[in-house]
Amino acid sequence: MRALSNSSGGWRRRAVILCLCTFLAGCPGLHDRHAGEPEWRFKGKLGYRTPGGSGSVLIDWRQYPRERFDVVLRAALGVALARVAGAVGGPVTLEQRGAKVAFADPDAAATQALGVPVPLGALRHWIRGVPAPWAFTATESGWRQSGWNVQARRQEDGLPARVVMRREDVRFVLAVREWR
């Protein structure tokens, strides 16, 4: 009789462990539950100057896992002008004035949206104060990459508050208002 009770105690313990494992396997993990949340995000203002004129837009950038991004450009009053979303190396979608257009890369989509050449593909690195992972040359005040001279001015927490980008007659200043 005693042997039967030991084996039934072991059976119960195994049943409890099995139920617990099944329960935990069915629960979404912390990573799964937050899969839709960005890894990092910033809001700021992107000003530009070209020989043909100047302008600025508000920018809300969300960077997701697996190099996915979602960038919303707004007019000064907060009206959405364009949305560029996609993944590095994958198709990029530009939504503007109710239409969706596919592009091969983020630079082409952002350039179409603003009418000036925008280095959006590299900007996800530059905004964090580092060159993109392809060839660059260090300069006294920053670096030169893909034809752009880049200067990142850091905040106290190590993330840039301002990034200045120049190429030929085009100049961009990205002022970060908020990091998350």
Tell whether the model's pLDDT for residue 20 goes beyond 90: no
Q: What's the pTM value of the predicted model, to 2 decimals?
A: 0.77
Query: φ and ψ at 139, to 5 degrees?
Result: -125, 175
Same domain membership, residue 142 and residue 106: yes
Residue 114's domain is classified under what CATH number? 2.50.20.10
Joined tokens for residue 77: 């009053």
Q: Cα separation of 142 and 130, whole Å?
A: 9
Give the model's confidence band at 156: pLDDT under 50 very low, under 70 low, under 90 confident, else very high: confident
In whole angstroms, how far apart are CA 70 and each of 40, 47, 64, 173? 11, 19, 8, 20
In the chain, how many domains are there? 2
Same domain membership, residue 137 and residue 107: yes
Same domain membership, residue 53 and residue 11: no
Same domain membership, residue 147 and residue 112: yes
Provide DSSP, 67-100.
Answer: TEEEEEEE-TTS-EEEEEEEETTS-EEEEETTEE
List the domain range (segments joined by +) for residue 17: 2-33
Same domain membership, residue 59 and residue 6: no
pLDDT per residue as tens digits for the range 87-105: 988 899 999 999 999 999 9
Tell whether the model's pLDDT for residue 17 goes beyond 50: no
Same domain membership, residue 46 and residue 29: no
Query: φ and ψ at 11, to 5 degrees?
Result: -65, -45
Same domain membership, residue 47 and residue 23: no
* 43 burial via Cβ count (<10 Å: 0-12, 13-18, 19+): middle
Same domain membership, residue 90 and residue 11: no
Same domain membership, residue 133 and residue 79: yes
